[in-house]
A and B are shown apart, each in its own frame.
Chain A
Amino acid sequence: QVQLQESGPGLVKPSQTLSLTCTVSGGSVSSGGYYWSWIRQPAGKGLEWIGRVYPSGSTNYNPSLNSRVTISVDTSKNQFSLKLSFLTAADTAVYYCARVTETTFSDWFDPWGQGTLVTVSS
């Protein structure tokens, strides 16, 4: 059974860069038919898709964050990572990583990591 676990700092200063890693166990980031995503959720608010990375390293980002986001995959470590730069208080949220099943009739997030709270504050 595939499991995902986020790791990274819980507190980051404004204007700095957030770096989070998602470690995949019970499966491979190189598996066909899947790609890997980051999603975030500010307290009391809805979910926001940040971006995705394929096993090949190909990426797509949410245009609302496009210039600040980098997502990468490390197949040797079975991990994928998120970097978000120029942080502000508005980036405070729970950050989730997820595996995405890609089909011709839908893409869906499952499973998800447990989430990690990131607070942007000086």
Chain B
Amino acid sequence: EPEVTQTPSHQVTQMGQEVILRCVPISNHLYFYWYRQILGQKVEFLVSFYNNEISEKSEIFDDQFSVERPDGSNFTLKIRSTKLEDSAMYFCASSELQSMNTEAFFGQGTRLTVV
């Protein structure tokens, strides 16, 4: 069964450093998303991406964040200068379409720890 894969599974970084979280969406999917879950809190939407551009972003997704699809398979989330409060599980997701009744499939997540 096709799945969304994320690397690394766990990333520890020092405050102020840049991190890149990587995702390989399901191959025939066209829409890509990043969500995050801070420990003990809800899963929160960060950004959606389609046709090589951001289609929607939340207020969390500030100038420190960026996304890219550098090639035909990878989808990355970059945090330019990490803060302690960026520590969370980051989930990548993809969906085939964005129309009615189309579910998003999630990866297993990357646990980001900022120290």
Partners in one complex: no
Q: Which residues of B contact A (CB under 8 A)?
A: none
| Chain A residues within CB distance 8 Å of chain B | none
